[in-house]
Each structure stands twice: as structure tokens, then as C-alpha cells.
Amino acid sequence: MAAAYRYVLDCDVAEDLLALPARHRDHFIRIFQELAGNPHQKGRSYFRDSSGREIQKGHFGHWLVSYWTDHAVKEVRIVGIQRAAR
């Protein structure tokens, strides 16, 4: 069953993802699908971008994923990925 929402990657995220080993890319795809499948999910924390938009920061294993949900067009916009601090 397809998710009601889809995920969309920021250009920088797509470039970062392509530079990772395949096993990491597969892991991120599962994370992004999870976010699209549950678009109302809140991150562990959030911050506001320069336009005042609330960007969620979710913790997934060793990774942090920054995203916001555009409910009007049913998209989860992935705007950042980074290794979580230990």
C-alpha cells in the first residue's frame, strides 16, 4: 500500500545520500518511507528556519533527519541528514 504522503529530498540531501554506501542509502530510504507513512510524527526536537517554518529533527539510530511536513501537498520535505553526536 502506497503512503498517502510522499517524501521529497532537498538537493543537498540527495547529493549527501548518493555519496553514502548502499547500506546507508537503504537505511535512509526506510526512514523516509516511515516519515511519509506517518506525516504527523514529531521529531525529538525542532528549530525554525529563516522563514519561520518549524523543522522537526528526528533521531533514527546513529542519524538525525531534519524534515517538515507540507500537508497542503501531502509531502514530507527532507532538508537535512547528519550523524548523531554520541
**Would you say residue 1 lies in a domain?**
no
Q: Which CATH number does the domain housing residue 79 bear? A: 3.30.2310.20
Within a domain: residue 40?
A: yes
Q: Are 60 and 70 a contacting pair, CB within 8 Å?
A: no
Q: How many Å apart are CA 65 and CA 43, to the nearest integer?
A: 9
> What would the pLDDT profile of 16-58 be if each residue is shown by its tens digit?
999 999 999 999 999 999 999 999 999 999 999 999 999 999 9
Domain ranges, residue 56: 6-83
Count of domains forming the chain: 1
Predicted TM-score of the model (pTM): 0.89
